[in-house]
Amino acid sequence: MKYANNSRSISYLKNKAAKISEELEGNSSPFFITQNGSATMVIENVQDDEDKEELLALLKILALGKKDALAGKGLSADDFLKELDAMDESEKLVAQ
C-alpha cells in the first residue's frame, strides 16, 4: 500500500470529511492523514476495519494453537479424527 497515493492533510479532513466518507464507501484504500507533513492517522471504512479485526483474532487463535502444539498439548490429526468418529458413533447409539 502506497502512503503517498491516499495522503491528505488534516485541513483537507476538516473541510472535506463528507467527501472522504463517500470515497471510502467506493474504495477500500485507507486515507493517511498528515499534520505538518507527517502521517498522524489512518481513516478506513468500517468493513475493512472489521475484516482486519477478524483476521487478527484468527491469527491469535492460530498462534495459541501452535504454542500448544509445540508444548505437546492437544491431539494429532489422526487421534482427533478417531475421537470424532467415536463421538459420532456414540451419538448414533443414543439416537436409536
In CATH, what number is assigned to the domain containing residue 28?
3.40.1620
- pLDDT of 17: 93
51 and 94 together in one domain: yes
11 and 1 together in one domain: yes
Give me the sign of the Cα torsion angle 36, 38, 41, 45: positive
50 and 95 together in one domain: yes
Regions of the chain where pLDDT drops below 70: 1-4, 93-96
95 and 50 together in one domain: yes
Structural domain total, the chain: 2
- pLDDT of 16: 93
Angle at 82 between CA 94 and CA 90, to 5 degrees: 5
15 and 61 together in one domain: no
- pLDDT of 27: 76
Domain that holds residue 30: 1-44
Mean pLDDT over the full length of the chain: 88
